[in-house]
Structure 1
């Protein structure tokens, strides 16, 4: 069957449904296509379920520390079946809510199936042939499974399949010492599993400044998480006790045996089977769809939003992609990807909140910088909560006083970082931040203090 629409949206991740809502409200007819589950990564295998697990793991950790606060409790036990059920229910509720909302929108048709281009303005979904002058690709990404020795000979987990596990691994070995791996590592260690994190590079979360990597490693090792860096040749083999992971490191044994192994070494876009070549849509060497500063592809009338365009790998960047495209298309605006300030968080405990440039990134970019830093042990709110690990840092341009970025590795860092982000977005200087009164007692109240303690880096 053939049908014509004003717009086709491929994928129901963070950008797709919101865009469908805006286009519907503008009177357009919309076909939105989903291959698997409504809601994309965030709702099904990302933010919703994993942050639910983070919350359960934090509750277990705090319960074990009850005596530190004068609260006497008995032995702490983890009911993994209930932990898993809670995580799944929150995902399922989010998915059901998204799907019901999409079905309620006027002039919006929801299709389930694999969408594939036939020509630039025509997409086939099973027996349906859909045509529209505007097509928006929002297909997200999936876990990278690298071609490591033995990778196809043993059962390996990804972030998606691990979430289906309702039992506790005896020993979870994680390949990859970046954001996903570190979050899962701390979660499962707090649930009671032995955890080893293996990282090919010389340090954890290599994109961060060395001080952050070092502090995060210390936090995780304090919870008895084993960390192996410099693993140049990782390999897998079956073992009577599970899976043997070969590790070529300068220190430690050459092989680790785990009951389960999680691959957390990156993600790839879901663009390989869309027929993009038939539409003339270009991709880069990694498979990300090439877009301009307004998220348009090289084919008129086709845009790419979310993780598949390589311009961001977070729920908030995907949603911002929707905002940019909708504003430009419907509101006569001229918004651009380059206008947004990079920001993200790592949801270990304590969390890492990051905005703009780190000190190392700013220096590498040629800025003459001034930096203010304070350990969380000198933040009253952190001391009161007895969560003193980490530090806060602000980076500013020594010549213009512009705020270049900030880092908060510490309790509430994922929330407090927005103080710095909002000041940057409004063009405020470090001096203006220093002069702004904040509420006591909070983590955020120390941000103006740090802005008043900036020192030029030689």
Structure 2
């Protein structure tokens, strides 16, 4: 059985359904192939369920701090873990159903369930069906990486996917990987009542961030009772009567951590190894990511890659922007490129880290003259009023062009307040545009003009 379409989309993550909507609205006959769950990582194992869990963890944390606000909650605060997980599942299921309903309601769209593999540059096999199109868009996402660490095959471990299926709270959760995914799970499970140890190979947490950010985040987590083990260069696993023994080989502390559960949070890998890309001649890099140019086009004409599988962004918002770039170029007569995108993201611990552009270390490495300003959250009225004064705001700018190069907010509402700087950078406006803005009081964003006024030439390391 075979069929021909104007376009084929492989994967129903963040970029795929939106692109299907634009292409069908333009009159094209489109096939969308999905082999597993509609909505992709964000809906099913990423943003939506995890941020629902973060919200529950924040409520538990604030309830325990009730007395600080003059509120008596009465007795010990407890967490109904199965109910917490059920709430997260409900958020996911509702979002997934909405995506399916949207897709099945599109005219000109054929939804196919199954595993798509290339048999030629313009042809895919889906089960017993062969489908062809002059335009093929790959939106296949990624999954947790499981490095071949000693003993890993002999233990039961969790990933960011399987941990969402737990129905009982771990007694002691060892999180192997001190970066974004690992730290979010570490804090939420600590707030749910588990003992938590974070184990990181490198000399500090989230090493891609500036050292002051890494250190402040470590202090935040340790203040909540999370044990942090850095410099774990020889991680290995072995079964133990109480769960799993994790060899850490750190400079300080016991050489072994015994935990009831182990979460592997050591990065992601693209779902590209079983697409038959070699049969289409599609190039990939050494990590398996599909190579794309500045417009998301692959080396083979008529094939594009969007989202996590192209290695050009690991977030829902970058995947969606991939769709926007492709749609603008194909359908709107525009010329949009990846290089026009200002990188921004957040770490959803509490308080969150909002980041945009370069880190201070990256800006220094560029060799340009810099202006830097940093203000503690204790200077932010909104943070003081909410009793959440941990963290700081930092701005890095080019001393010659007077353009912002990057910014960070580790603090309450940092994930929202960072957008003032992101928008400034996207519009390519000078520092004065932020200096003379009149932010609303009381907000976190109202400190940005003050931060701009505090810019000083960067001191040499």
Partner of 1:25: 25
Structure 1 runs (4+) greater than 6 angstroms displaced:
none
State the 1:197 CA deviation: 0.2
Task: Flag structure 1 segments of 5+ consecutive residues without an equivalent.
Answer: none
In structure 2, C-alpha distance between the alignment counterparts of 1:336 and 1:128, rounded to whole Å? 34
In structure 2, C-alpha distance between the alignment counterparts of 1:153 and 1:120, rounded to whole Å? 41
Partner of 1:73: 73
In structure 2, C-alpha distance between the alignment counterparts of 1:141 and 1:107, rounded to whole Å? 28
State the 1:399 CA deviation: 1.2
Task: Flag structure 2 segments of 5+ consecutive residues without an equivalent.
Answer: none
Aligned pair 1:346/2:347, yes or no? yes
Q: 1:414-454 deviations in whole A, cap 9, x for unaligned? A: 00000001111112211221111111110000011111110
Secondary structure at the counterpart of residue 161 of structure 2: helix
Contact 1:431 1:452 in 2 (8 A): no
Aligned pair 1:384/2:361, yes or no? no
Partner of 1:325: 326
In structure 2, C-alpha distance between the alignment counterparts of 1:159 and 1:149, rounded to whole Å? 20
Partner of 2:111: 110
Partner of 2:226: 225
State the 1:182 CA deviation: 0.2
In structure 1, C-alpha distance between the alignment counterparts of 2:16 and 2:362, rounded to whole Å? 33
In structure 1, C-alpha distance between the alignment counterparts of 2:46 and 2:377, rounded to whole Å? 29
Secondary structure at the counterpart of residue 372 of structure 1: strand
State the 1:100 CA deviation: 0.7
State the 1:211 CA deviation: 0.4
Partner of 1:47: 47
Aligned runs of 1:120-139 on 2, under 5 Å?
Answer: 120-139=121-140
State the 1:167 CA deviation: 1.1
Q: 1:70-129 deviations in whole A, cap 9, x for unaligned? A: 000122111011101000010010000000100000010111111000000000110111
Partner of 2:356: 355
Which segment drifts farther, 358-367 or 190-199?
Answer: 358-367
Partner of 2:2: 2
Secondary structure at the counterpart of residue 312 of structure 2: coil
In structure 2, C-alpha distance between the alignment counterparts of 1:355 and 1:95, rounded to whole Å? 29
In structure 1, C-alpha distance between the alignment counterparts of 2:102 and 2:385, rounded to whole Å? 43
Secondary structure at the counterpart of residue 289 of structure 1: coil
Partner of 1:406: 407
In structure 2, C-alpha distance between the alignment counterparts of 1:34 and 1:342, rounded to whole Å? 28
State the 1:222 CA deviation: 0.3
Q: 1:208-227 deviations in whole A, cap 9, x for unaligned? A: 00000000000000000000
Contact 1:354 1:407 in 2 (8 A): yes
Secondary structure at the counterpart of residue 53 of structure 2: helix
TM-score, normalisation: structure 2: 0.99
In structure 2, C-alpha distance between the alignment counterparts of 1:440 and 1:143, rounded to whole Å? 42
Secondary structure at the counterpart of residue 152 of structure 2: coil
In structure 1, C-alpha distance between the alignment counterparts of 2:90 and 2:73, rounded to whole Å? 28
Aligned runs of 1:159-198 on 2, under 5 Å?
Answer: 159-198=160-199
Secondary structure at the counterpart of residue 228 of structure 2: strand
CA RMSD of aligned residues (A): 0.6
Secondary structure at the counterpart of residue 397 of structure 2: strand
